[in-house]
Chain A
Amino acid sequence: MTLSVGPQHPGSGHFRLIITVDGDIIVKAEPDPGYVHRGEEKMAEVRNYIQNIPHIERPSIIDASGILYPYVLAVEDLLGKSAPERAQYIRMIMAELNRITSHLYFLSIFGIFLGHSTMFMWPMGDREVFIDLSQMIGGTRITFSHFVPGGVRSDAPDSFADKAEKTCDYFEGRLKEYERIFVNNPLCHQRTVGVGVLTKEDAIKLGVVGPSLRASGVKSDTRRDEPYDAYDKVDFEVPVYSEGDSYARLRVHFDEMRQSMSIIRQCIKQMPKGPVKQKLPPQLRPPAGEAYARTEAARGAMAYYIVSDGGNYPYRLKMNVASFRNLIAIPYLLKGVHLADMPTVYWGLDYWPVEADK
């Protein structure tokens, strides 16, 4: 029997899965994305480098700083400039705050896909706390447009350090509760352990990125592999699990949130005083050439490939987003999985269709 899951289906987000089931087992799954395709790459060719910022972060407003970060780095690479040190730390704080909110969103949807509505509500509620925190720097709830080539738009207020410290303290306690209540119970184990196993070899072969990759035992994190901004000055661990199943993916998200909080704390301590924005001309005209910048966003390695012809507009801008790279793993993992596990397996891969469709 062939089932069309989505685009209007509680278990699919913004995309469609055409799955063939034999009894309760999925024998074939074919993703049908494109329901949110908005032509960002073409639009970027008719906007200048600053005008591109707001629409580029829209595909992933769940992790707005994460998707903007490599764009800014790529433009800086083309210009041959870099951000002042304080701006680098503020960028890192924003990126990590967004990582936490994005992971909390991941957790809540994971919960609803497991049939656990409390697991939807609690992380949603705690996400607001971090949104408040990033609102102090960014100014709006989720779409900040805060990073610009050559720095950030605005400095962090003085009260930020205190509030961040308090929030992190609060949230560490909450994380323990989450683990105790949602993860370490037999029902959750039964639904996730050994389900949708992505082996290390396959993860490498399919070029999976982000938490799914680390859950499969590959210790790869762009922040470590190719440290950008001040990531080489902070101390953090890359969580790795070797099982590669849904449970490992869930655990990676928990561990990453802890590491992010530790990075935020270190950044606040190490952050120097100084300007947050380099003086650049209002109309950026990078010299002809090309740049490929990548960062580790919440959902995995995010990369931009920009070709410049020396004009006001990018000649070609390619968004190589994490979700689109994980799309290939969906049909691969869903084969042989129970129908009931279909939403958790595909969501566990951190596939966010809006981001993948661009």
Chain B
Amino acid sequence: MASLFGSRDRIDDLLTAPAPFVKRPEQNKGLLHPQRFMNMFGLIVFIAAMVLPFISATPYIISILTSALIYVMLAMGLNVVVGYAGLLDLGYVAFFAVGAYTSGILSTRLGWSVFETIPVVLLACVAAGIIIGGPTLRLRTDYLAIVTLGFGEIVRLTANNLAITGGPSGIHGIRTFSFFGWSFADGATLFGIDFNSKVLFYYFVLIVAGGLAVIGAARLGKGKLGRAWKSVRDDEDAAEAMGINTYRVKLSAYIIGAIWGGLAGVLMGSHLTAVSPTSFEFLYSALVLMAVVLGGMGSTPGVIIGALFISLAPELLRDFADWRYLIFGVLMVITMIFRPKGVWPANAMLPWLHRRSPMRSAAERDESDEAVVVTVPEPPEERRP
């Protein structure tokens, strides 16, 4: 018997998948295919963002857009955790803090350039993801929420209390990006245009990093791991029954989220040249979560819109001074009431886009003559295991 099945974890396959034999319509060509359209659209937005500073922008606009892009990175990371894997995380800024502090400490104490700190930051984030996720991912969602909240607070308070993190005033004088002896602070003249502002360099760095973060998270969401995440979100037991180690998959979502958050933290630290515990209060976890939910959980364009809204709305409302958070709150309530699945829900497609022409006419599925539509199913009498 044992010889029949071998000694590896997996026994040899009995089955091979049959080839599909029902003819499927061709995929739509060109821009009518939703994926291609969105890619193209993303590219246009990216180029527009790259060109924007040359056309019309003030340091203020650039600065708030830079912050907004950090929010986009954070939201994309949290989207992996909340949107794809369905794990409610109320302490996401913990990872943001880990990234920012790790990079900040290495930069100010050891004089590393921001680039050099990145590998260490990645390690720290993976470790943080495992430490936070490891013991808690067995918990049900609502308990997970409070535990993650607790971890977020623990990280912030620890940073606030320790000497190495600079205590309540944090770390200052984080070095800027530098390559081969040239740093952003030095400025440069390219194509006859004088780049003398660090603000601008960070903007470009963040456009690229934010773009990569968006593409990376979106790709993960569509691949093997993404399907596993979504399956865990939709039905954990069924996912487990599909041969998915749900614990490991959830942990991977945490780690990916941690990496995204940590890298965003690195960029924030060097953008502001400073890291302080006030940047990691619970409110910011809630805001990033809001970006994800407001935009549409699991939806890349939605989350981007959500992040831009959450970060830019308070800035745009600055002129309302004292009223701005009041208005912000009202806007949030109204948006959710009218768009409960988010501004741009996952699975939504623009109406003029189709993956392919309508599927399977009746003639094409003559083999399945028994395909009679069934009416309402009987309610199941036993509870799920």
Q: Do A and B bind each other?
A: no
